[in-house]
Amino acid sequence: MGRLRTTDRKMPAGSPCPCGSGRAYGDCCGPFLEGAAVPQTAEQLMRSRYTAHVQGDGDWLLATWHPATRRARIDLADQVRWIGLEVLATQGGGPGDSKGTVEFVARYKRGGRAHRLHERSRFERRNGGWLYVDGDLEPVANANQDLVPETRGDDPSGSSG
Ligand SMILES: [Zn+2]
């Protein structure tokens, strides 16, 4: 218990896709990670890269990284456990676009603490496929806190305008 590691990359095609799309892995990110299909939208690529993080698939992360910004190698932190993805907005990135932006929140746990990564990622189409270029981290509203509570309406300071 608590020592589960995703060492086996092969996920059953029928299991829910880690990217949270609500679709089956074999009908979502699976074909991309296994090289059977190419993502048609920036969001599909972004989701597949999240799933690659979940599965520890550094090869896919490098293969879909723009050469201009790609790192030489990827350290997939063992102690990080990705627990959820939510795509907030997309701009461009469709089958007829050459560029796109995907804004998302990815949640992960490290050392028993929950964190959230809010990023706006830029993607570019190249040779018919999408590549990750770079991204801007969204500033957390309350910089003093690692984790912003999700429950609101219980503000003791009663700040009013
Ligand atoms: Zn997926």
> What residues does each domain of the chain span?
25-137
| Strand ranges inside 21-139, DSSP E | 80-92, 99-110, 113-126, 129-137
Q: Is the pLDDT of residue 49 over 80?
A: yes
Q: Is the pLDDT of residue 31 over 70?
A: yes
Give the integer Cα–Cα distance in Å for 124 and 93. 8
Does the pTM exceed 0.75? Answer: yes
Q: Is the pLDDT of residue 8 over 70?
A: no
Task: Please give the distance, rounded to the nearest whole angstrom, from the Cα atom of residue 10 to the centre of ligand 1.
Answer: 14
Task: Please give the distance, rounded to the nearest whole angstrom, from the Cα atom of residue 152 to the centre of ligand 1.
Answer: 30
Q: Is the pLDDT of residue 150 over 50?
A: no
Reduced to 3 states, what is the DSSP secondary structure of residue 158?
coil
Task: Please give the distance, rounded to the nearest whole angstrom, from the Cα atom of residue 19 to the centre of ligand 1.
Answer: 4
Listed residue (95, 83, 109) closest to 42, CA to CA: 95
Task: Please give the distance, rounded to the nearest whole angstrom, from the Cα atom of residue 142 to the centre of ligand 1.
Answer: 31
Q: How confident is the model at residue 65 (pLDDT cuts 50, 70, 90)?
A: very high
- Check residues 139 and 124 and name the one with the higher pLDDT: 124
* Per-residue DSSP letter, 27: G
CATH of domain 25-137: 3.10.450.50
Task: Please give the distance, rounded to the nearest whole angstrom, from the Cα atom of residue 65 to the centre of ligand 1.
Answer: 18
Mean pLDDT of 103-128: 94
- Mean pLDDT across the chain, nearest whole number? 85
Lowest mean pLDDT among 19-28, 49-58, 59-68, 138-147: 138-147
Reduced to 3 states, what is the DSSP secondary structure of residue 47?
helix
Task: Please give the distance, rounded to the nearest whole angstrom, from the Cα atom of residue 63 to the centre of ligand 1.
Answer: 17
Q: In the chain, pLDDT over 70 holds for what percent of residues?
A: 81
Task: Please give the distance, rounded to the nearest whole angstrom, from the Cα atom of residue 100 to the centre of ligand 1.
Answer: 18
Task: Please give the distance, rounded to the nearest whole angstrom, from the Cα atom of residue 20 to the centre of ligand 1.
Answer: 6
